Structure formats: C-alpha cells, structure tokens
Amino acid sequence: MTKNVTSGTVVVDLIDNATNKVVWRSYTAGQLQGKPTDENIRKGIEFFFKDYPPTKKK
C-alpha cells in the first residue's frame, strides 16, 4: 500500500530595511492534511505572529 504525504516548511523573516538584516524569524514544519482552507491559513498566520513583537530582554 502506498500513501502520499505532503510535508513542508514555512519561514517568515522580518528584515530591517536600513541594515538588510533579519530582525525577527518564525518558522514551522510539518505534514499537511487535506487542502489548505482560508481558516487554516488564518490560523497559520496567527501562529507565526503570536510571539510578535518580542518582549525586551532585561
């Protein structure tokens, strides 16, 4: 028996325009189940930005 599995990685980088350096990064990797829906895409975007902006280090 053969089963196709779609997997992938998504990386979101925020880059400082003045320095052209990455100032923040979020990523995830995993297997996709079914076709992407608008709701799943919205949840993915919320996941990426749940820790943004980062808290200041003391």
Tens digit of each residue's pLDDT (9 = 90 or more) over 1-33: 777 778 888 899 999 999 999 999 998 888 877
Does residue 51 have a pLDDT over 80?
Answer: yes
What are the C-alpha distances in Å from 53 to residues 13, 14, 22, 57?
13, 11, 14, 12
CA distance 44 to 38: 10
Query: What predicted TM-score, i.e. pTM, was given to this entire model?
Result: 0.67
Place of tokens 């979020």: 26
What is the token pair recorded at 31? Answer: 């297997």
**Element (H or E) spanning 47, and its range?**
helix 38-48
For the beta carbon of residue 47, count every other beta carbon within 10 angstroms.
13
Domains of the chain, by residue range, sit at: 6-48
pLDDT grade, residue 58 (50/70/90)? low
